[in-house]
Every structure is written in structure tokens, then in C-alpha cells.
Amino acid sequence: MSDHILIVEDEEKIALLIRDYLEAEGFVTTILDRGDLVESYIAKTPVDLILLDVMLPGKDGLTLCRDIRKTSSLPVIMLTARVSEIDRLVGLELGSDDYICKPFSPREVVARVKAVLRRTSPPARETEIAIGPLALNEDRHTCTVDNKEVTLTPNEFGILRLLMAHPGKVFSRSELLDKVQGYHFEGYERTVDSHVKNLRKKLAARLPKVQLILSVYGIGYKLNDRAFDGTY
């Protein structure tokens, strides 16, 4: 899929020039001409990189870059009007990934965009946790037993992932509630029990001889790190 580059620039000629060069290289682009439109835009629309002018109506690029950094690691390349500004930008530690000084050649912009994307895009390797025949793929959010998929809800997946990442470690119900991503209800600890019950049922259907999740009386749950000793 093509990378989506957001161009934030109020000088139309410059914005269109950058757009033409990026699109010729296969990028998808969007142009915004005001700084105060950016945050609501990126909250709703997936963007891979922002080219951000410093002097903008609505909200200036410096403030904007700093605010974006508070909530996201989206790559940002600043466009500045003067060479002398670059030192100031670096000194401000805005967290931008690169700076380009105006006037610039559009080819340079394209080269910098590619370089920053190469540097910042996560490695393609998929993350998988496996114990015996049981495997969790975090990128695909799938659980498999002997390569056959077991369908889990996001909460069940989160609980199993946490337990599998720390075999043998005991987690209290409240720890499970806190740490499982995507948990959005009101800390009701007994709901953990019902998720674990469903999880055990689903796993037992594929692994009838294995007791994978053990209850620890008065505390919570742990993954049985000896579950596959002997049987596999």
C-alpha cells in the first residue's frame, strides 16, 4: 500500500509542487493549508509522514510538532524558510525527524521523505509467542494450536498474551485488568474470571489433556510453564 504523506503548507505553489513530485513517486498526498486543521485530521485519517511548514495560519508548525509528539510517533519533516532557523529548531527539541530549508528542490524533499520512512518504519518481522503447539501472533491477533486457528475475543487474546509472555508468573485479577490492552470497563475483577473460563474452554477443545491456565488460590492466574511437559 502507498504511504500517505500529509503536506501542511499555506503557500499553494510550494504545496502543489511537493504534491506533484511525491505523487509521481507513487505516494498518496493530502494538502492542508492551516496548522489548526492538522490534529483533527490525523486523529481520523491514517498518515505515514507529515511535511510541516513552520509559518502557518491557525497554529504554527513548531507548536504543532510539539503537540503531535505528545500523542504520536508519526514522522515529521519540518519545512523552514531560513537556514538560520534550523539551529533554533534543533535546539527546541521538537521531536521532528528531519528539517528541510527553503528554497529546496522537490527532488530533495522526495529523497528526505523516503529516507525518513525507511528509518522510522518498523521492521517487517512478525511477533509471535509460542509455547508447545500454542502460538500467538501479535500482528495478526491470531491464536493457533498446531497451526489451526482458535478464535479469541480481544480480551481473551490480551489475557493469554500477558500470561504467555511471562510463563509461571502469577498475575492478580486487577493486574490482568490493568495490563490487558483494550480493557475498557470498570475494573470489575470477576469479569476476568469469566474471560479465563471462556479461554480455558476454547483451549481445552483443542488441547484436552493440557491444563494451560492455572488458578492461584486467593491471588489470580498463571500460565502453566510445564503444561506441555510429557504430553508433547
Applying CB under 5 A, which residues contact Ca ion?
10, 53, 55
How near is the Cβ of 103 to Ca ion at its closest, in Å?
13
Q: Strands, E, within the chain: which ranges?
A: 4-8, 28-32, 49-53, 76-80, 98-101, 128-131, 134-137, 142-145, 148-150, 170-172, 213-216, 220-223
How near is the Cβ of 102 to Ca ion at its closest, in Å?
9
How near is the Cβ of 9 to Ca ion at its closest, in Å?
6
Kind of pairing between the strands at 28-32 and 4-8: parallel
How near is the Cβ of 96 to Ca ion at its closest, in Å?
16
Question: Which C-beta is closer to Ca ion: that of 10 or that of 225?
Answer: 10
Question: Which C-beta is closer to Ca ion: that of 10 or that of 25?
Answer: 10
Query: Residues 126, 139: contact at Cβ < 8 Å?
Result: yes
User: Which positions ≥6 away from 41 have C-beta within 8 Å?
Assistant: 6, 30, 32, 47
Question: Which C-beta is closer to Ca ion: that of 103 or that of 218?
Answer: 103
**Residue number closest to Ca ion, CB atom:** 55
Question: In this structure, what are the phi and psi dihedrals at residue 49, rounded to the nearest 5 degrees?
Answer: -160, 150
Question: Which C-beta is closer to Ca ion: that of 8 or that of 177?
Answer: 8
